[in-house]
Structure 1
Amino acid sequence: MLPILYSFRRCPYAMRARLALRVAGIELEIREVVLKNKPAALLAASPKATVPVLVLPDGRVMAESMDIMVWALTGHDPEGWLGQGDPAQAQQLIAINDGPFKAALDGYKYPERHPQATRDQHRAQAVALQLQPLEVLLAPGPWLLGPSPSLADMALLPFVRQFAQVDRAWWAEAGLPRLDAWLQRLTGSPLFESVMHRLPPWQQGDAPHRF
């Protein structure tokens, strides 16, 4: 029996979980979820009902993307993501990303849902909180915390990608050339492309789709 991953292709949390599972070489069954019509099996596994959810053969359930990433890489980390850079700095970057930066990103994407600030104000907050500091971190080299990609690079990638896609014309003129090069390098990699294949929505009774 294989682990089962409930996922959604465009969800940044699910995306970073898939990146870690793929690089760790973990064979599993992947189930693409339609978020407006979540399958009963997902709801039974995790009442939280958000993706990603990883169900292990022994019945354990992981419903947080960072838990899935660390679990996968603790078992096998061939590219050394966990050992790259200062772990405390990596955790700080991820905490900012998953907290205030994600809130500002949501306001930038959906200003009508977050009327406490304008779209431009949400964008400016996101740049100040995370994107400009990342631009500075990239000054010494191509990766955030050292000479090769780290857990922080891969955990932040889907969210920076999402931000850049909101207004591509603005992003092209944003004055973040190192961050843009970092983003293009990662999204153009075979690893990233391998976790972004489109899958049909899973339904009970479907043949397993191997990841």
Structure 2
Amino acid sequence: MTANARPVLYSFRRCPYAMRARLALMIAGAGCDIREIKLSAKPAAMLEASPKGTVPVLVLHEGAVVDQSIDIMRWALARHDPEGWLGRDDPALIAANDGPFKHDLDRYKYPDRHGADPLVHREGGLTFLRELDARIAPEGQLCGSARGLADAAIMPFVRQFAATDPAWFGGLALPHLKAWLEGHLGSALFASIMVRLSPWQEGDTAVPFAIGDGPSGQIQ
């Protein structure tokens, strides 16, 4: 990568880890070139940069690589944080999402892959969702009245859980969580990071992402 080139983000549209990285990059206006990957045909350039083979991967100038989604979020926000997301962080809550909740989510959504009872793990995940509902109730977001890093880091996983069985989720008594999720999914910010792209191939024209200040209007 040349000194004046933009960073390169390897992403997959539906991956919740990639979603949260894109949310932070967009709100920060941390311009990069985005490369949508096909999971069954991961590009050699991505694997060379990050042999772990999972998205997101952000390749910076001079070959430096950030390949953990939370690290990408904090990298972007450390450079420009127009909404003060770093002040609305909760590492312990994010760890609970990425650990026990993600464990239950995977086994609820893909029981055959894990040899698991989906209903057991659905109940396990619901325990976490109830905690989030109570957390959101006083002010509307996870860390106060405005969206922040914790919301952006956790929301894509709640979205995936809710979409696994929408009819069942719709019948749950989680009014604060549902309003929170609907607000994030209906925001201009979320729409801006969910544009459909063709899988990247070597030689393709660069696709700019998050150039300038991203959509920063507050969720209504």
TM range, smaller chain: over 0.9
Partner residue in 2 for 1:127: 126
- The aligned residue for residue 141 of structure 1 is 139
Match of 2:100 in 1: 100
User: Counterpart of 1:92 in structure 2: which amino acid?
Assistant: A
- The offset of 1:56, in angstroms, is 0.5
The residue number in structure 1 matching 2:18 is 14
Distance 1:112 1:132 in 2: 26
Taking the TM superposition and a 5 Å limit, the aligned residue runs for 1:27-66 are 27-66=31-70
- Tell me the residue number matched to 2:183: 185
Q: Distance in 2 between matches of 1:113 and 1:30?
A: 30
Partners of 1:50 and 1:115 lie apart in 2 by 22
Identify which range, 151-160 or 138-147, moves more after superposition. 138-147
Q: Are 2:169 and 1:164 equivalent residues in the alignment?
A: no
The one-letter code matched in structure 1 to 2:118 is R
Give, as a single letter, the amino acid of the residue that structure 2 aligns with 1:65. S
Indicate the SS of the match to 2:190.
Answer: helix
For residue 14 of structure 1, give the secondary structure of its aligned residue in structure 2. Answer: helix
- Unmatched 5+ stretches in structure 2: 210-220
Alignment of 1:74 with 2:78, yes or no, is yes
Q: Which residue of 1 aligns with 2:199?
A: 201
Query: SS at 1:58's partner residue?
Result: helix
User: TM-score with structure 1 length normalisation?
Assistant: 0.95
- Cα RMSD after superposing both structures: 0.8
Quote how far apart the aligned CAs of 1:114 are.
2.5
Task: Report the counterpart of residue 113 of structure 1 in structure 2.
Answer: 113
CA distance in structure 2 between the partners assigned to 1:154 and 1:102 by the alignment:
15
2:66 partner amino acid? M
What's the CA shift for 1:115? 2.7
Partner letter of residue 14 of structure 1?
A: A
Deviation track 1:93-136 (CA, whole Å, cap 9, x = no partner) reads 100110110010001001112334x21111000111x2010011
Specify every segment of 5 or more residues in structure 1 that has no aligned partner in the other structure, as ranges: none
The alignment covers a number of residue pairs equal to: 205
Distance in 2 (alpha carbons) for counterparts of 1:199 and 1:115: 33
Mapped partners of 2:110, 2:33: distance in 1: 33
CA distance in 2: counterparts of 1:29 and 1:83, whole angstroms: 27
How far apart, in 1, do the equivalents of 2:71 and 2:107 lie?
Answer: 26
Normalising by structure 2, we get a TM-score of 0.91
- Per-residue deviation, 1:138: 1.3
